[in-house]
Structure 1
Amino acid sequence: MDTWFGANMCSPLGSVLRKLSTNGVAFEFISVKEDIERILRKNEFFEAFGYPKLEDSNQTTIRYLELKPNQDGEFLTYIKTELLQRPELPYMSDLLKKKMTESIFEIFQNAKIHSKSEHIVTCGQFFPKKNTIEFSVSDIGMGIQQNVSEFFQKGIPATSAIEWAILPGNTTKRGTPGGHGFAILREFTEKNKGKINIVSDRGFYEFIDGQDIFKEIPCPFPGTTINMRFQTDDSASYYLLEELKAADIF
């Protein structure tokens, strides 16, 4: 049987393993397929488990990174340099790239503020044969369902909690506006024909082909993981509408 593992999935896997390790659970990897081992050494995931690092001569990996909630600056630099500056992505104006940075940074902020997780784990992968870049951010903390339920002081189904959380302006942080970053990320993903997944508790959300899909999954994820897929075979150039309107004046 052929086995495949998307390297960006090191993000949720690493979150779970970090939590287990914090709780005193010991583990090791054995009989890993050679091609999977190779990519997980290139993206630095396997370094924590005694494997020597391999040079990524093809530069397809977006390195595996574990962060504490107070490492905002490190995450900001990471998404700027390792994700949004990748040459495979379609052209984005500087202003749009700034907004995209803010959108993805908001995911980190949500994990920091709302989940109360001790670690936020991220990584990604460029798949040349599929013309895609996949990028994931995960935490093992308070899930969206619990957070939203506590905010409304009543039980909210996991899928309904995600649906509420992604609406522009919605946030469980009282007295503070928020939740606008996802709208920009969603709009870019739609035009780029990419995809967004969110899994939290038993809730699953997918945005693809302009459609929002919500469903419940049988095995809950103990936290929240968000995956973004960007198409690299996109020849379009992207600007904010306000930039184009300003250009029309001249």
Structure 2
Amino acid sequence: MTYAGHMGFFQAFGLDFGKAPGEANGSRRYLPLKLFRCEQLIQSAVRKGVEVGNELEGESQHMAEMLCGSDSGAVFETLSYSVREMMRNVVEHSKATQFGICAQFWPSMNRVEVAILDRGIGLRKSLENNPHIDASNDKRAINYALMPAVSGKAFKGARRRQRGPWANSGFGLYMTSRICRNGGTFFVASGDTGMLLTKKSEAKRYFDCIFGGTAIRMVVRTDQLADLKDALEVYRNEGYLIQNRYKEIVSIDPSSASLMLSQDFDLSVWDRILAKLKGTR
């Protein structure tokens, strides 16, 4: 288990074997386990006079550049976006004190794998304030969390509405999961449920688990990203289509940051939700 020990896995949970999280330097092929404290990230943004999203953008770009050895291109942009949105989700919604992240890049296999974990309140607790959805169990909460424009902070009738490019829009996890499903996989676990998504919409698998918080593993096929940048304008328009078409469910403006690398979505799912809500009135 020397590789896991080098990555900081064992010392992360208190076993004195291998390196501590953040001790290994990493390289252009892997990022060892690194722990981030949410309050430190927030305070760093305050000192710089920027939004916490900008602070996380800098961290995610640094990690993406280390992994792919470049600060531009489809792989860099996809990694920096996906990592940033997962980090944002932790800092803005989980109420966790810290989170861990690690990653590896296999160029010969055209594959990148990233994992992020927090021990916060979990997805179900995070979404319980949204009166427009039924997130009464972990399975439902995971499914809602991966749908566009669903958030526990930004919803129709919410008292406080954040504005600007870093607004809470409920798009980050959805976009990231769709990017991964373009040839890769996306796994999320929270509470008593884990869910694995692959490219085929019907290939959704559930697993029993016991986890206080949220854990995500994304696997990206780097050879499937060449045309992603060309489609950004189309994806942005699709994001605003949700906001305009389903105002009875969501009344929020998708943040420009979260729409940077959007993917296709199934409007029929939203049609069914809207019909159900109308039937209960």
Q: TM-score range by the shorter chain?
A: 0.5 to 0.7
Cα 1:221–1:4 shift into 2, 3 Å = farther
In structure 1, the partner of 2:198 is: 208
Change in Cα spacing, 1:93 to 1:216, as seen in structure 2 (3 Å) is: closer
CA contact (8 A) 1:122 1:135 kept: yes
Name 2:240's counterpart in structure 1: none
| Mapped partners of 2:8, 2:149: distance in 1 | 29
| Within-5 A mapping of 1:81-160 | 81-83=62-64, 86-87=67-68, 91-92=73-74, 97=77, 101-127=80-106, 130-149=109-128, 151-152=130-131, 156-160=136-140
TM-score, with structure 2 as normaliser: 0.59
Identity %: 18
- Report the CA distance between 1:205 and its aligned residue: 1.5
Match of 1:45 in 2: 21
Q: Which has the higher contact order (CA 8 A, sep 6+)?
A: 1
Q: Per-residue CA shift, 1:112-141, capped at 9, x if unaligned?
A: 232210002111112456542111121111
Correspondence list, 1:177-196, <5 A: 178-191=169-182, 193-196=183-186
TM-score, L = length of structure 1: 0.66
Mapped contact 2:67–2:104 kept (Cα < 8 A): no
CA contact (8 A) 1:159 1:203 kept: yes
- Matched to 2:68, the amino acid is P
Q: Secondary structure at the match of 1:126?
A: strand
SS in structure 1 opposite 2:170? coil
User: Number of aligned pairs?
Assistant: 209
Name structure 2 gaps, 5 residues minimum: 42-51, 162-167, 236-281
4+ runs deviating over 3 angstroms: 2-10, 72-75, 84-91, 99-104, 127-131, 149-155, 174-177, 232-237, 242-245
1:59 and 2:59 are equivalent in the alignment: no
CA RMSD of aligned residues (A): 3.9
How far does residue 79 in structure 1 lie from its aligned partner after superposition? 1.4
Judged with a 3 Å threshold, the aligned counterparts in structure 2 of structure 1 residues 5 and 67 are, in CA distance, closer, same or farther, namely closer
1:185 positional shift: 2.3
Select between 142-151 and 109-118 the one with higher mean Cα deviation: 142-151
Residue 146 of structure 1 deviates from its aligned partner by 2.5
Flag structure 1 segments of 5+ consecutive residues without an equivalent. 18-26, 31-36, 48-52, 246-250
